[in-house]
Structure 1
Amino acid sequence: MTTDLRIKELRLSHFRSHKALNLTLDDRVIAIYGANGAGKTNILEAVSMLSPGRGLRRAVADEITRKPEALGWKVSGVLQSLHQMHEIETWSEGGASRSVRIDSKSATQVALGRVARILWLVPSMDRLWTDGAEGRRRFLDRMTMSFEPSHAQSVLTYEKAMRERNRLLKDNQRDAAWYGALESQMAQAGAQIHANRQSALMRLVAAQEVAETSFPTATLTLIHPEGSAAFEDAEALMSALRESRPRDLMAGRTLIGPHRADLFAEYTAKGVPARDCSTGEQKALLISLILANARALKAEIGAPPILLLDEVAAHLDANRRAALYDEICALGAQAWMTGTGAELFDSLGERAMYLDVSESGAVSSVVTFSPT
């Protein structure tokens, strides 16, 4: 068996507009086209649910289930993860938190990150460089998780402890003993989060430096309002949290930690911050980082991640689109790409399998074909 990361079979049941969908996939990229609202992005969202978290729309379980039936939803399939094949199922019934099974055994969402490395770009991320820092942290954390699947657990541990600490702060609790254990958890997890993020950035920079690409290079910096010294190790972060208690009590929340970090990007060749670049340049920088992530992961584990590229042709001219498709195919990545018309994928030719998505009566249907 070849070393690869790709979905071989995908099955949807009552997932948004798709009442039922069964796909058998080969080694080509997947080009999905159809009118707006036909259900293209819903397919990408379903694939994103095979990784930890709330998927590319960050939806809660009840929002995903098909209406009006509201029976719950299920995504399942066969995933090739390097040298192994896995049966994966994830589902929700009655709006409950989603469940996961891997190879017929109950599993955590974090476990999905160990077998499925999935990255995505969606239209809302076109504003990544101009919106708030939270979106940039999520973007960085998903790239980081592709290198270090345990990063997801570190983030969960940190956020849970921080929520409990924030509850104490809001209640104006001043007994130091109540804070000690929580701050110890936050410090251990937070220092690991910082180290993982820095390691991911180093990998991305290295991958960009050696790449032959048509997309611009980004200079990346992880910024903390308090400076990075407090994050170098767990002891330093614990000390910083302890010293910040008076200020945090006044604010009613934790004001120091990796949850306040920001990702700064600069268009290297122009020396211009990404937030000040044109819309097309910002999109190109995002694509460049996704490709760098894929190259770095392939060099490290032998296979690039699965890529979900929603409306990826937006802001790209025909030459830049063709260059993107060439780079994806050269990487050997399983990329799922959407667009409103088949003509957007003309330069792919026989290198893709095509899904024609349409909608009637609030139910999506998919016709699969391959060019001859």
Structure 2
Amino acid sequence: MIVSRLSLRDFRTYDRVQVPLGPGLTVVHGRNGAGKTNLLEGLYFGCTARSCRTSNEREVLRFDQAAARIEVEGHDRDGDHTIAVGFQPGEDKRIKVDGVPVARLLDAAVRPLVSVFLPERLELVKGPPALRRSHLDAVITALWPGRTANRTAYRQALAQRNALLARYKHGRGGREALAAWDLELARHGIALRDDRAQAVALLQDPFAEIAAELGLTGAGELRYRPRTKATTAAELAAELAERVDSDLERGFTGHGPHRDDLALLRDGRELRVYGSQGEQRLALLALLLAERDVLAAERGAPPLLLLDDVMSELDADRRALLVARITAAGQSLVTTTDLAHVPGAEDASVVRLHVTPGAVHVDAPGLRAVDAA
């Protein structure tokens, strides 16, 4: 799905605003603090029904407002589509796709795939393994939607096994029921492990190539680190059985794919530990671009790419390479404080959105300016 228009009401610093997006590159420019990232976040919220910046979604409401509404209009091979997300704290989100209520956008076939780079997302590189596991699992869902069931089934089996362990620790159950859940957990765990390994194998070569292209010195590498060495469900179940005493003492399962990690490396050293912030930024950008390429190959279309403040730390040659890559195919939105930092921003095919506090002014041939009310 190509997004053609975004509408925000009472979202962050915006009262009401409607802006067009180009089918290729859209550049959002303005001074620091004007609201560029808020606009990008609103687009992400409309495509996913969640924020890319905060877990406390009350923060997305404009001051003194009770609710926010986001609409995304676009089209695909089947025609025009509209996604509407209404958010009011304390209530379920009201989501409609083409006027039909849905419980989750994840279940909507017309939902645009979207990938986002924010400075805050450096935690994906330098933060705890849980962030990287979750991200990798989201990539798997985008690549192979049908495989989401593997992760769901594993989580359910893990929750059940942990509940049994907790009851035993508090003297309210026996250990005999664990064997059956060991096998169930192992069956889904091996499937999840294989999905992750396959996804990382697809990402490795494009990641290394793009990292070098963007200027990461040394050989870039993605390395999947599964907690288990098992190759079959029976072997993983045996590993769980060997650790059952320590699990009973702790009251939870300490072994399995829920302890896996994804390492980003340069010359064999983890960027999480040994990389500078600049190197970590390049690695994160390379990872997102590699995912975009793989998704384009597997799904037939690249995701909408949202890049916030990514040009300022690249030299002129790297900026040109990045713009050439993201404009070769697919739709992208880039924020910047200076149009000169985005090569080709003055081209007639590029939609330019100039953000001032509370308003967005459209500067592109053939497009009407739509300002905040």
Question: Fold conserved (TM > 0.5)?
Answer: yes
Partner of 1:315: 313
Decide which of 27, 31, 40 is 2:23's aligned counterpart.
Answer: 27
- State the alpha-carbon separation in 2 of the partners of residues 82 and 282 from structure 1: 38
* Alpha carbons 1:30, 1:352 under 8 Å: kept: yes
Instruction: Give structure 2 stretches of 5+ with no counterpart.
Output: 367-373
- State the alpha-carbon separation in 1 of the partners of residues 308 and 244 from structure 2: 43
Indicate the SS of the match to 2:15.
Answer: strand
Partner of 2:137: 141
Q: 1:53–1:143: structure 2 CA closer, same or farther, 3 Å change rule?
A: farther
Indicate the SS of the match to 2:311.
Answer: coil
Q: Shift of residue 307 of structure 1?
A: 0.9
Cα deviation code 1:296-333 (max 9, x no counterpart): 22222321111111211242222212211111111x22
Q: 1:134–1:105: structure 2 CA closer, same or farther, 3 Å change rule?
A: same
Decide which of 306, 325, 335 is 1:338's aligned counterpart.
Answer: 335
Larger mean CA deviation between 338-347 and 285-294 belongs to 338-347
Equivalent residues in 2 for 1:286-305, closer than 5 Å: 286-305=284-303
Equivalent residues in 2 for 1:1-372, closer than 5 Å: 5-52=1-48, 54-70=50-66, 72-81=67-76, 85-107=80-102, 108-112=104-108, 115-171=111-167, 172=169, 173-176=172-175, 186-208=185-207, 214-215=213-214, 216=216, 218-224=220-226, 226-229=227-230, 232-267=231-266, 270-275=267-272, 276-330=274-328, 332-350=329-347, 351-359=349-357, 364-370=358-364
- State the alpha-carbon separation in 1 of the partners of residues 29 and 92 from structure 2: 31
Q: 1:255–1:26: structure 2 CA closer, same or farther, 3 Å change rule?
A: same
- State the alpha-carbon separation in 1 of the partners of residues 264 and 144 from structure 2: 22
* Alpha carbons 1:283, 1:315 under 8 Å: kept: no
- State the alpha-carbon separation in 2 of the partners of residues 314 and 58 from structure 1: 23
- State the alpha-carbon separation in 1 of the partners of residues 235 and 77 from structure 2: 38
* Alpha carbons 2:3, 2:23 under 8 Å: kept: no
Cα deviation code 1:124-157 (max 9, x no counterpart): 2234333221222233233323212345454444
* Alpha carbons 2:46, 2:72 under 8 Å: kept: no
Cα deviation code 1:221-269 (max 9, x no counterpart): 1113x3342xx454544554455443223223321222211111222xx
Which amino acid in the other structure matches residue 259 of structure 1?
H
Q: 1:203–1:82: structure 2 CA closer, same or farther, 3 Å change rule?
A: farther
Q: Shift of residue 109 of structure 1?
A: 3.3
- State the alpha-carbon separation in 2 of the partners of residues 159 and 50 from structure 1: 27
Q: 1:324–1:106: structure 2 CA closer, same or farther, 3 Å change rule?
A: same
Identity between Structure 1 and Structure 2 (%): 27
Q: 1:273–1:59: structure 2 CA closer, same or farther, 3 Å change rule?
A: closer
* Alpha carbons 2:207, 2:290 under 8 Å: kept: yes
Q: 1:126–1:315: structure 2 CA closer, same or farther, 3 Å change rule?
A: farther
- State the alpha-carbon separation in 1 of the partners of residues 12 and 156 from structure 2: 30
- TM-score, length-normalised on structure 1? 0.83
Larger mean CA deviation between 339-348 and 206-215 belongs to 206-215
* Alpha carbons 1:146, 1:305 under 8 Å: kept: no
- State the alpha-carbon separation in 1 of the partners of residues 107 and 350 from structure 2: 30
Q: 1:125–1:325: structure 2 CA closer, same or farther, 3 Å change rule?
A: same
* Alpha carbons 2:345, 2:352 under 8 Å: kept: no
Q: 1:177–1:333: structure 2 CA closer, same or farther, 3 Å change rule?
A: farther
- TM-score, length-normalised on structure 2? 0.82
- State the alpha-carbon separation in 1 of the partners of residues 343 and 157 from structure 2: 50
Which amino acid in the other structure matches residue 366 of structure 1?
V
Indicate the SS of the match to 2:195.
Answer: helix
Q: Shift of residue 68 of structure 1?
A: 0.7
Q: Shift of residue 354 of structure 1?
A: 1.5
RMSD, aligned α-carbons: 3.1
Which amino acid in the other structure matches residue 88 of structure 1?
I
Indicate the SS of the match to 2:283.
Answer: helix
Instruction: Give structure 1 stretches of 5+ with no counterpart.
Output: none
* Alpha carbons 1:48, 1:118 under 8 Å: kept: yes
